[in-house]
Chain A
Amino acid sequence: MANGFFTDTTLCIGCKACEVACKQWNQLPADGYALTGMSYDNTGSLGATTWRHVAFIEVPESKKRLPMASTAPVTQPPVPSANGDNNTGPGALKFLNIDGDGGASLQIGFPDIGQWLMMSDVCKHCTNAGCLQACPTGAIIRNEFGAVYVQPDICNGCGYCVPSCPFGVVALQHDDGRAYKCTLCYDRQKDGLEPACAKACPTDSIIFGNLDDLKMRARQRVADLHSRGETDAYLYGVDENTEVGDLNAFFLLKAEPEAYGLPQAPTLPQNRVGRGYLAGLAMAAVLSVFSAISLRRSQH
Chain B
Amino acid sequence: MLGLISSLFAAQNGPVGSPAVPQEARKGRRKKRNLSAQTEFTSYYGRPVVKKPHWVWPIWLYFWAGGISSGASAIATLAHFYGDKDRDKSIVQAGRYISMAGVIISPVLLIIDLQRPERFVNMLRVLKLRSPLSTGTWILTSLGILTGLNTARQVVEDGLVPENTLPGKLALLSSNDVTQFLQGLDGMALGTYTGVLLSATAVPLWANADEAIAPLFLSSAFSTGAAAISLAQAVSGVKADDLHRLDPVEQYAILAELASLGYAYFKLTPEVRKHVIASPFTKSFLAAVWLGMLGPLILKFISPKKGLPGRLFAIIRSLMVLIGGFFLRYAVIEAGKATADDPDAYHSITRGPARGTPEEQARKYSNGRERPFGKGRSTPEQQPNSFQSNNHADGNEGTLPQGNPQDSQYPGSQTR
Contact = CB atoms under 8 A, between A and B. Distances in A.
A15 interface: no
Given A163-B53, A256-B38, A267-B207, A138 B128 contact: yes
Interface string B207-250: 10011111101110010000000000000000000000100110
B270 interface: no
Contacts of B120: 156
A269 B350 CA distance: 11
B279 interface: no
A213 interface: no
A157 B58 CA distance: 14
Which 6 pairs, one residue from A and one from B, show the smallest C-beta to C-beta distance? A157-B115, A280-B192, A265-B352, A177-B115, A261-B44, A72-B392
B350 A264 contact: yes
A60 B49 CA distance: 23
A53 B189 CA distance: 41
A281 B116 contact: no
Nearest to B343: A261
B54 A67 contact: no
What class of interface size applies to chain B in its complex with A?
A: 35 or more
B395 to A, nearest CB: 6
Interface residues of A, number: 124
A138 B125 contact: yes
B49 A292 contact: no
Interface of A: 36, 38-39, 41, 44-45, 55, 57-60, 62-63, 65-68, 71-75, 77, 82, 91, 93, 95, 106-112, 130, 133-139, 154-160, 162-172, 174, 176-178, 204, 217, 219-224, 226-229, 231-236, 239-242, 255-256, 258-267, 269-270, 272-273, 275-284, 286-288, 290-292, 294-296, 298-300
A250 B203 CA distance: 23
B400 interface: no
B113 to A, nearest CB: 8
Contacts, number: 371
A275 B210 contact: yes
Given A155-B116, A224-B415, A273-B196, A255 B41 contact: yes
A280 B218 contact: yes
Contacts of B126: 136-138
Interface stretch (B145-153, B283-291, B316-324, B364-372): B364-372
B245 A298 contact: yes
